[in-house]
A and B are shown apart, each in its own frame.
Chain A
Amino acid sequence: MVMTVLRDEPAVLGAPGPRPRSLVSRPSVADSVFRRITYAGGVATVGILLAVGLFLALRGGQALGVAKWHFLTQAQWQPEGGVFGIRAVLFGTVTIAVIAMVVGFPLAFGTALLLSEVVSPRIGRLLVALVDLMAAVPSIVYGLWGFYFLQKQIVPVAQWLAVTVGQVVPVLAVTDQDGKPVSDPNFYTSTAFIAGLVVGLMVVPTMTSVMREGFSRAPAGEREGAYALGATRWGMIRAVVLPFGKGGVIGGTMLGLGRALGETIAVAMIISPLFAINWQVLKSGTNSVSALIALRFSEASQFGLSALMAAGLALFVVTLVVNFTASSIVARSRSGAQSEG
């Protein structure tokens, strides 16, 4: 509308004036091709994730249709007999992930603070590179270490925990069917505790690097302000670094949790599969969804595979929820830190 008025005005005045330049830039052909190609890249990425969910749902649907709600409440896994559910494996997955977090969180939190606040920048850079390197070490290497070294070495610690602390905290006790404490070392191998320790160490590097990034985002002005007011280093960390790094801590923990929930091969190497709820984490026998899939898929029938797909779908949904929560928390904290300048 404005354009019409502008164009008419010179005519009214009786003199042909210059036409106003259009400020809308038309993308060239090459540009619109470029835009379409990159757009297609983005669509493909989203498409892959959607396809993962879609195919698992399609192939797992058959088994889900047979099992119905019992899929969540049944602990046994005999798809050929029609009796199967993820109660036990999901419980095992969560147990292992919780132990991994109990071990991993203090280590990651402490190391991240150490790297960003305590050591000199030069050593810090070196150690950060080491942390990144450790995040790239294949999980099977951690699994080998857990199976051939940690398994033997940790048994005395587990026994001590079960005998002393276990009397007060029932989760740490190890008892036989009659409820009597046992100290036979065979009861203490292939446990959720060992698997959790290994997975915890495996996810610590990822957690550390996210947390450290959050901590180092605390602005220098506030840090020096705290020191100028007479704060000790810990006082400064508590008053400045932790509030600024809160998002990084939560996000890093969630990312670590997501990886711990999905870890497959190290868990499959260590545990001895058990299809029942085992509250005693120091006692042999546990399970996880991913280990179930890795150990059972080769001998599975068509229907058994469908049941495994359904289990995979459940794992997929759980990790997706954890990850979306994590990335939204990290993103929110990132924008907040930026506005502070």
Chain B
Amino acid sequence: MTALEERTAAVPATTARPGTTTRPVATGPAAPRRRLRGVTAVELFDVLGATVAAVATATLLFGRLTAMHGAIGWVVVALAAFLGFYALLASLHATGEEVKDKVITALLRTAGVVLFGTLVFIVLFTLFRGVSALHHLNFFVQTMWVAGPQDPLSKGGILHAIAGTLIQIGIALSITVPLGLTTAVFLNEVGGRFARFVRTISDAMTALPSVVAGLFILAAVVQLVFHERNGFAAALAITVMMLPIVIRSADVVLRLVPGNLREASYALGTSRWRTVWHVVLPTARSGLATAVILGTARGLGETSPVLLTSGISTVLNLDPFKGPMTSLPLAVYNFIGSPQPNQVVRGFGTAATLLVLVLVLFGLARRIGGRGPGTMSPRQQQQVQAESTRAAIRIAAYHQQPPAHQQPSALRQPPAPRPSDRPGAQPDHPEEPLR
């Protein structure tokens, strides 16, 4: 109460001198600081107690008190029991709103644990089941042409599928990268009503069913052009699937390029395409690489388009224009269709190979794309420095007017750290390079 009265007493003084702030005078013992983060012992014991009780309840119900059995059921019952017990324990020492908050937070954490647990388990399950096929080196250097379904794992391999995947992805990338990046540039740098329409279309295409893409290539390319299924048709089908993903992620990355970089370039009289080529694209380079890699990861995993357009084979086929060409996911599908246990193991081995490939690509994408647009590695910064010094010397040679005593400082401190800002391009001759 005293503190309050003092504060009100201080108010007239504040209003008397506008523009200043008076700190209230602190008197008496300060109130204990409220904890904003961390876990109290009580909260910790709530969680521990609820966990123990939930495990005990689920174990009692399964196999002892009721006829329920199975691991998944046990987990479900344990999670439900945990939430119940936790709500009960929390309500012992908290009020209504607080209990609700605690229970819902626990619910959110449960959702996260279930999801991440399952997803990590799916990956580990595949790797674990496939590892016995991966032991053998021949798995990577032989084809299934030399081995029958009943042959042991030390014979035969998936070289044909690895080669097929690489060829198909290579062709798909050589179409997707130019077309996708051009479209993304169109969406961001040209703009207009048509660009918005294209963005809507490409967004809608991201969820185009893969089997529909396969049917389309089957009708448009296989039946009309080649009259047989081949690797090139499969690559086109993969392209249809990858294109919207690349466009969409590249679009997001280009949107993050700071507008003042563009405006600085335009203010120097640079033409539009030079701005895109020398400012926008280099700035977004790492993000664009990520976009392409993400698209590749999705393209690698497509099964049904390849099934429809390329077909299954067991021989090494390096000609994309002739005959069926199997890819990794298609080989998995083929292997597990067989009743032979060794074929199933091969299927898991192939899936593990594919998964590792995707994981590596994804790690690469994170590593390249981890930096924001415009952030450079030390080596890139050195390159940029060197280039701008050269540019400054070139400008000095071009003008040759400035007084000698001003020149050195202007040279050592180039105005912008980008190689792309050609400061010499003047409004009078905008297209004329200086070199």
Contacts and interface: CB of A to CB of B under 8 A. Distances in A.
Q: Do the two chains belong together in a single complex?
A: yes
Interface of A: 27-28, 30-31, 33-35, 37-42, 44-46, 48-49, 51-52, 55-56, 58-59, 106-111, 113-115, 117-119, 127, 129-130, 132-134, 136-142, 144-145, 147-150, 153-157, 160, 201, 204-205, 208, 232-235, 255, 258-259, 261-265, 268-269, 290, 293-294, 297, 305, 308-309, 312, 315-316, 319-320, 322-324, 327-328, 331
A147 B129 CA distance: 13
A163 to B, nearest CB: 9
B393 to A, nearest CB: 27
B358 A323 contact: no
B194 interface: yes
Contacts of B101: 232-235
A140 B332 contact: yes
Contacts of B244: 45
Contacts of A129: 366
Contacts of B302: 138
Contact of B122 (A46, A137, A319, A327): A137
A323 B207 contact: yes
A153 B121 CA distance: 14
A49 B97 CA distance: 51
B212 interface: yes
A38 B220 contact: no
B343 to A, nearest CB: 13
B100 interface: yes
B103 to A, nearest CB: 9
Contact of A34 (B198, B206, B243, B273): B273
A316 B209 contact: yes
Nearest to A230: B97
5 smallest CB-CB distances across A and B, nearest first, come from A138-B301, A262-B209, A110-B111, A156-B70, A41-B182
Contact of A45 (B243, B297, B362, B366): B243
Contacts of A130: 116, 119
Contacts of B200: 324, 327-328, 331
Interface string B15-47: 000000000000000000000000000000000
A144 B336 contact: yes
Contacts of A259: 207
Tell me whether chain B's interface is mostly helix, strand or loop, or mixed: helix
A37 B129 CA distance: 49
Interface in B174-221: 179, 182-183, 185-187, 189-190, 194-195, 197-198, 200-216, 218-220
A268 B332 CA distance: 13
Given A28-B431, A42-B186, A153-B71, A144 B358 contact: no
Contacts of B212: 52, 56, 262, 290, 312, 315-316, 319
B109 A139 contact: no
A45 B183 contact: yes
Interface string B328-366: 010011001000000010011001001100110110001
Given A133-B359, A140-B351, A157 B70 contact: yes
B98 A34 contact: no
Contact of B201 (A46, A148, A312, A328): A46
Given A31-B273, A48-B240, A145-B126, A294 B308 contact: yes
Nearest to A35: B190
26 contacts: A30-B271, A31-B272, A38-B183, A40-B182, A41-B186, A42-B195, A42-B198, A107-B111, A110-B108, A110-B110, A110-B115, A130-B116, A138-B329, A140-B303, A144-B332, A157-B70, A157-B72, A157-B73, A232-B98, A258-B207, A265-B304, A290-B211, A293-B211, A297-B215, A312-B212, A315-B212
Given A39-B190, A138-B303, 12 more contacts: A28-B430, A56-B215, A111-B115, A130-B119, A138-B358, A139-B301, A140-B333, A144-B129, A144-B336, A263-B209, A319-B209, A327-B200
